Amino acid sequence: MKWFEVQAAADGRHADVWINDQIGIDWWSGDGTTASAFINAIASLGDVEALTVHINSPGGDVADGIAIANYLRGHKAQVTTRVEGIAASIAATIAMGGDRREMATGSLLMIHDPWTVAMGNATEMRKLADDLDTIRNGILELFVARAGEPRRVEIQEAMRAETWMTGEDAMALGLIDAVDTDLKAAASIGDYSRALAAAGRSAQHHLEQQRAPAQPAPSAMSAADALALAFDIEPAQAEARAAELGDQILAWRDKPVNAPAADTAALQREAVAAERERVVAIIDTCTTTGQHQLLAKLVASDMQTDTAREYVFDVAAASSAGVHSSHSPEGGQRAGIDTQGIYARRRARSAS
């Protein structure tokens, strides 16, 4: 599956390119395409005069990203790069390939030092650290080429700290030329902003779940599975008693809540505080392990802190079988979280 799309205008002099999703080949699943395919697709357009590259990507393969950035910098056309959702990690480097660089209102740019997960002896780890420094210096040069030499130290510090920037922040640092107030950020703004925005909604959801049994997630499990989880019975039993259990759920749902207003307010405060702690713990775990792309899914799943940490560590462990240049290592597992598998493991531990 391609992470980009190229479309020429009817006049043959202008073309648009859309970069979405993870850049390069997914080392786990084999999905995606290389920078060569991207470059060949643009070259096939012929001598276009203007090229607009629309970016909404969490990053991807370092080598592919650097190759694309340098190709765009050297293209004969007037190249405009536009961040329309997020340009994180190596996608931010690609954004530097434009002769003119713009960001939509509400979009985000993230720059950071390269990182990896690896194992080896002391000599191998020291060499790996040197290699990461070399990669960092190469990426730094692409940012400095746009922002100017006087900004080198400031950009280097921003990379070291892993910095998320709005359009105004990026323009102040000299990385982009303009914030397009007429262009709204893409709906898929990225895992970080979705995770934080979802925190308040999720707290309210937890409060509502205290008053009614859990409902099945859309397309995530069957009705029988949902009933089985709600009543802590086997799916076969739930299926046989579906009508009875359904009536019981309706009765619970329609039962008036008699808690005093003060108690309700206290419950709301407790739910918000608990959800804030859960989200902070998930963000901390994802940041520590480098699994940033898991944030939105984990927050939306209502998974408790310990279970979420276990899931993140499982993904991180699966990603550590060797050194890879991808900066979005979710192990290629693009499907949703396997809630049934996680609950099954939890029950097995409880039974032992």
Rounded to whole angstroms, the Cα distance separating 262 from 242 reads 36
Cβ distance 293 to 254 under 8 Å? no
Handedness of CA 96, 66, 110, 304 (dihedral sign): positive
- Retrieve residue 342's tokens: 């996680």
For residues 91 and 188, is the Cβ–Cβ distance under 8 A?
Answer: no
* Catalytic residue IDs: 89, 112
SS3 210: coil
314, 303 contact by CB (below 8 A): no
41: left (phi over 0), alpha (psi -120 to 50) or beta: alpha
First CA to last CA across the chain, in angstroms? 43
**What one-character-per-residue DSSP string does 102-120 give?**
EEEET-EEEE---------
| Amino acid at the residue 210 | Q
Q: What is each CA distance from 83 to 17, 67, 143, in whole angstroms?
A: 12, 19, 15
